[in-house]
Structure 1
Amino acid sequence: MNSDERSILYEIGNAQFLNVSQLLSTACLYGSFLLATSISIYYLSSSNKPQVWTICILIGFMAFTLYLTSSIEVNLKLIFHSCMNSTGQGLIAQAELADKSVKIWNEVHGLPLTIMLVLSDSIVTWRACIMWKAENRVRGALIVLMTGNFVIQVVDIVWDSLDLANSLSLSLDILSLGISLVTNALTTFFIGLKAWSGWFH
């Protein structure tokens, strides 16, 4: 085993350790998420709350389930192809085969995260618009920002699915996270501002 293969073996082992640790943490949190989802659906079904909330919860639950499922599949395939299924062509070829085997799952892996991100931003924006229903400028700005957020998230997912690893792809990833953060922060600010002003008036 030469120095390059030792380096690759170290990287594979390190990546697998981190991936499995993250997967175990996510799987443990899934139980809490399942319990919270069950309680929420039971509460909403026994009350007169709009059905849209139940739909949002179910979409979030299915997205998180898809994320966990894809995470399990990615880790199992990586472990199998990089550590168990020897190609006889060296570690470099084996590592490349492992990466190719999870290509489609890596694309699926990012989709549920984007769904949950857009869903949470939409709910917060909707709440802010309800609280500022008398201020058309505020509502308009929030709607425009959320629309831009949605468009950028969709473009980012489509661009990633094209497997074009370049500077634009990295810029879209940063932009998608940035605009989501700005949307969430701004809508939360307006919600807090309305609550604060209502407290003193």
Structure 2
Amino acid sequence: MTPDEQEMVFSFAQSTFFNTVNLIVTITGYGAFVLGTIIAVVSLRKRTWGRSQTILLVCLLVIFSCFTWDIFYSGGFNISDIRYTFVQTLPGGLVAQAEASDRKTLAWQYMPSWAATVNLLLSDCIVVWRAWILFRDGKFWKISLAALMIANIGVNVADCIWGNIELSVEIASSTTLDWLSSIISLIVNIFATILIAFKAWNYHRFMSAVSIRKRTRSENILLLLIESGAIYCGIQSVYGVFILLDVYTVVGTGFSQAMDVITAMSIVAAACYPVATKVTAWGTSFSRIHEMPLLECCSGSFVQMEP
């Protein structure tokens, strides 16, 4: 084996190793997601059924389907890549085998962007929906949320289309649309989380003013939404930084492999986010939060709420 062949084998083995790490991260997150989804669906069945529960169930099922498809892609791509690169020998040696692997796995590479984007957009829609419910009478904030979400959908769909075009012309690096889609999704989540935090702060002030010290169910739900939103925004921020560095700086192999791991983590986070926020608690009780003083305390009116 020549030194060039040894270097090629090392490069392929390194790529296979990190692809396997990405697969482990994704499968681990998928296991947690499936468990959370089962708990959420079972809990939803025990509640009074309404429109919000139906929408939530549909969102969970779509996210489940897309995440399952992403797992199918990750496993299938790795198996095909290893098979055609290392297992199946060709007369031209490793170079011919690598070219054959690229051809055979090309169809797989069209799959992940759409499934991941659907999950991301559904996750963003859910957090926007939460903020929307809390600002039922806030026309400006509702318009702002809607405008940001429409822009988010447009940019992310355009990014997926451009990603497919990149595959056809064999462009492998990140583009402006890659970081723009990541940043606008981050802005949507930060904006919605800040709005929820603002309502929670007003609610806390109101409860303190009427000398109620015991933390209520509404406050627990809002704190959970804020904390989970902050964690999710943190993951998105790290991913956005990696994308920006990949677009505007010269990066090495190690950075690209680390970015693949961060990408896998962001895909897992987007799928798990709605479940991780205990969507079952949000189902019936959160959809009725507008009946509570949370939305009324700023205007001076008050509707009695059970602690």
TM bucket by the smaller chain? over 0.9
Q: Which of structures 1 and 2 has the larger relative contact order (alpha carbons within 8 angstroms, sep 6+)?
A: 2
Name the CA distance, whole Å, in 1 between partners of 2:175 and 2:105.
20
Higher helix share: 1
Residues 76, 160 of structure 1: CA spacing in aligned structure 2 closer, same or farther, 3 A cutoff? same
- Per-residue CA distance 1:143-185 (angstroms, 9 max, x = gap): 1011000011111111112224559961111111111111111
1:21 alignment counterpart: 21
Name the CA distance, whole Å, in 2 between partners of 1:125 and 1:59.
18
Report how many aligned residue pairs link the two structures.
Answer: 201
Residues 1:176 and 2:181 aligned together: yes
Q: TM-score scaled by structure 1? A: 0.92
Residues 111, 167 of structure 1: CA spacing in aligned structure 2 closer, same or farther, 3 A cutoff? closer
Would you say the 8 A contact 1:60–1:115 is kept in 2? Answer: yes
Name the CA distance, whole Å, in 2 between partners of 1:68 and 1:167.
22
Q: TM-score scaled by structure 2? A: 0.62
Residues 1:65 and 2:68 aligned together: yes
Moved more, 118-127 or 158-167: 158-167
Moved more, 134-143 or 42-51: 42-51
1:39 is aligned with what amino acid?
Answer: I
1:50-199 correspondence runs (5 A): 50-162=53-165, 163=167, 164=169, 170-199=175-204
RMSD after superposition = 1.8
Report the structure number with the largest CA radius of gyration.
2
Would you say the 8 A contact 1:159–1:169 is kept in 2? Answer: no
How far has the Cα of 1:39 moved from its partner?
Answer: 1.3
- Per-residue CA distance 1:88-127 (angstroms, 9 max, x = gap): 2122222122122111211112221111100100111111
Name the CA distance, whole Å, in 2 between partners of 1:30 and 1:153.
23
How far has the Cα of 1:15 moved from its partner?
Answer: 0.8
Would you say the 8 A contact 1:77–1:98 is kept in 2? Answer: yes
How far has the Cα of 1:61 moved from its partner?
Answer: 0.8
Would you say the 8 A contact 1:156–1:169 is kept in 2? Answer: no
Would you say the 8 A contact 1:27–1:68 is kept in 2? Answer: yes
The share of aligned pairs that are identical, in percent, is 31
Residues 1:5 and 2:5 aligned together: yes
Name the CA distance, whole Å, in 1 between partners of 2:119 and 2:155.
15
Name the CA distance, whole Å, in 1 between partners of 2:112 and 2:6.
29
Residues 31, 166 of structure 1: CA spacing in aligned structure 2 closer, same or farther, 3 A cutoff? closer
1:32 alignment counterpart: 32
Name the CA distance, whole Å, in 2 between partners of 1:167 and 1:29.
26
1:48 alignment counterpart: 48
Name the CA distance, whole Å, in 1 between partners of 2:106 and 2:191.
35
1:195 is aligned with what amino acid?
Answer: A
Paired residue secondary structure (2:111): helix
Moved more, 59-68 or 31-40: 31-40
2:248 alignment counterpart: none
